Amino acid sequence: MMSELHTEIQRRRTIAIISHPDAGKTTLTEKLLLYSGAIRSAGAVTGGKHRSTTSDWMSIEQERGISVSSSAMRVEYDGYLLNILDTPGHQDFSEDTYRTLMAVDCAIMLLDAAKGVEEQTVKLFKVCRDRGIPIITFINKMDRPALSPFELMDNVEKVLGITAVPLTYPIGDGPGFRGVYERSSGVLHLFEKTEGNKHRAPVSTKGIHDPSFKALIGEDAHAKFLEEIELVEAALPPFEHEAFLQEIITPVFFGSAITNFGIENFLQYLIDLAPSPQGMGSSAGLIAPDSSYFSGFVYKMQANMNKAHRDRISFFRIVSGIFERGMTAKHPRSGKEVKINYPFQIFGQDRDIIDVAYPGDVIGLSNPGTFLVGDVLTTGPDFTIPQFPRFAPEIFAKLFPASGSFSKSFRKGIEQLGEEGVVQIFSDAHHSPTPLIAAVGELQLQVFQARMESEYNEKVKLDRLPFTRMRWLGGDVKPNSATLTFAFDDADREVILFKNDWEIGYHRDRTEGLILLDKPPIA
Ligand SMILES: Nc1nc2c(ncn2[C@@H]2O[C@H](COP(=O)(O)OP(=O)(O)OP(=O)(O)O)[C@@H](O)[C@H]2O)c(=O)[nH]1
Ligand SMILES: [Mg+2]
């Protein structure tokens, strides 16, 4: 039993793919699925007519070609099991991305080779650092004119403060990008494009002095390339796995997800580099993956993943022990025992019932109404995990059904999408049926409207409200003002909406004992 658990832990890797919008996360995810054999032909996120990838399965994602929600995929490669979580890059959806980062042991940080480290990458990098997640860097879009490899590595070191150690080195860039040089073996991996990039790119491996390689790129380019490699070997620190795990260095890879150049090699490195499932810090101390009891937590909710089922799935990361279908576990938040009869293995939009799962696995649970993000299940001691990040909303609107009638599906849509965190839902001071919705960014409102229409068949109208701040009351003292707008959150805690920071300060100065919090008070 224990040795089964150890073996299964050792062969698992749970990894999130993160970056600034548009660096190619979804495209890379799709290609990792292709190269691991999980899919036969890769869909694409392109400007073209056919837009479909495994991880961007929502219709709004396919229409717009951006990810709005994180998704989970599982692949098997070389005897290893990888749980790959693709995340949205846009900052309006970063709450979802931050939650996903709670569920992984390693992150792939993508950079656009022409742009280097971008604003959103910096924020996500910091979250990984805070959580102690080691980071593998993949420099993508080498098939486009790129910054030089040295500029890119310098950029990573200066902006992020981590030592960049390339394990591969690109051969050319833009139309002249041929493949990558693998430093550990000294071997060149030269690729050829395929029609539509749907299938594996044919690869040939050669030595660096091979005459056919010299002929391929030309004598001058060859001489320059040899010089660069010499410089790399002389100037760069060696790669040390321990320093990577401690986030002192990040291994760097170069490639082009769209043309499949540099992917196979990268997949192998992912398995070698990424740590196996780690324990989780909790109120009961560190929960080790090889604990004798089963435990884990919900990091995400998603409604209507599958038109045939129309249900809500809780994405659950297993932290310790062996999970078996039909087992009963304690749900400490409610104090109840929960039986899990329908655990799923998730693959983008698809799902299969699974019978057994191990630490590191992300499984889908369908227990309607039982779980919220952050909930724990355990067959051992009760524990809670650190609070999930919650962002203070800055955009507010009053919500109406366009039809004028408050139907059952209107209420259901609000409840379920609110639970998912697509937007935050508040009721007004009179608990009237027209709720207030709150969001961090504009795109969230658009996604909410689109999903209300496509998933709940409800056209909704939003009347924007002139507020930019919301605060929870941290005590009994309330500001005495007839002009302020009060509301209640999903747990019936009172909040106040403000037009700006100045207004917050104004009331703080005039009301003795007033406590205003930008996060819900901890119960
Ligand atoms: N030239 C080139 N384009 C690429 C490459 N990888 C992705 N793209 C294109 O870049 C655009 C964005 O790709 P996505 O994979 O959707 O990027 P993403 O990081 O998932 O974007 P978000 O999830 O919205 O943050 C698409 O048009 C892709 O076709 C690449 O290696 N080379
Ligand atoms: Mg994406």
Give the number of whichever ligand sits closest to the CA of residue 27.
1
Ligand 1 atom nearest the C-alpha of 144 is 1
Instruction: Decide if 435 contacts 423 (C-beta within 8 A).
Output: no
Query: Which run of H or of E encompasses 172?
Result: none
Which residue's CA is the nearest one to ligand 1's atom 1? 141
Domain span(s) for CATH 3.40.50.300 in the chain: 2-273
Spatial distance between the Cα atoms of 56 and 61, rounded to a whole number of angstroms: 6
Residue ranges matching CATH 3.30.70.3280 in the chain = 395-517
523: helix, strand or coil: coil
Q: Which atom of ligand 1 is nearest to the CA of 89?
A: 25
Instruction: Tell me the HSE value of 34 on the side-chain side, using a 13 A CA sphere.
Output: 25
Going by C-alpha positions, the residue among 443, 446, 445, 424 that lies closest to residue 497 is 424
Which class for 390: exposed (0-12), middle (13-18), buried (19 or more C-beta within 10 A)?
middle
pTM of the model: 0.93
Rounded to whole angstroms, the Cα distance separating 166 from 252 reads 4
| Protein residue with its CA nearest to atom 13 in ligand 1 | 24
Give the three-state DSSP class for 8: helix
- Whether 320 contacts 296, CB under 8 Å: yes
134 Cβ neighbours under 8 A, 6+ residues apart: 106, 107, 128, 244, 245, 246, 247, 250, 273, 274, 275
Domain boundaries 395-517, CATH class: alpha beta
Q: What's the 515 CA to ligand 1 centre distance in angstroms?
A: 45
The architecture (CATH level 2) of 295-378 comes to Beta Barrel (2.40)
Q: pLDDT tens digits, the chain, 523 residues: what are they?
A: 568 999 999 999 999 999 999 999 999 999 999 999 888 888 776 544 445 788 888 888 888 888 999 999 999 999 999 999 999 999 999 999 999 999 999 999 999 999 999 999 999 999 999 999 999 999 999 999 999 999 999 999 999 999 999 999 999 999 999 999 999 999 999 998 888 888 889 898 889 999 999 999 999 999 999 999 999 999 888 899 999 999 999 999 999 999 999 999 999 999 999 999 999 999 999 999 999 999 999 999 999 887 777 788 999 999 999 999 999 999 999 999 999 999 999 988 888 899 999 999 999 998 888 999 999 999 999 999 987 877 889 999 999 999 988 899 999 999 999 999 999 999 988 888 889 999 999 999 999 999 999 999 999 999 999 999 999 998 889 998 788 999 999 888 999 999 999 999 999 999 999 999 988 887 6
Q: Provide CB contacts within 8 A for 98, sequence distance 6+.
A: 127, 388, 389
Q: Are 285 and 274 in contact (CB under 8 A)?
A: no
* Backbone torsions φ then ψ of 487, nearest 5 degrees: -155, 180
Which ligand minimizes its atom distance to the CA of 256? 1
Highest CATH level, class, for 2-273: alpha beta
Distance between CA 313 and CA 357 in Å, rounded?
Answer: 17
Place of tokens 């969001």: 439
- Centre of ligand 2 to C-alpha 141, Å, is 14
User: How far, CA to CA in Å, does 2 sit from each of 71, 83, 322, 353?
Assistant: 31, 22, 10, 24
With a Cβ cut-off of 6 Å, ligand 1 is lined by 19, 21-27, 45-46, 65-67, 88-90, 140-141, 143-144, 256-258
User: How far apart are the CA of 370 and the centre of ligand 2, in A?
Assistant: 29
Residues of the chain with CATH 2.40.30.10: 295-378
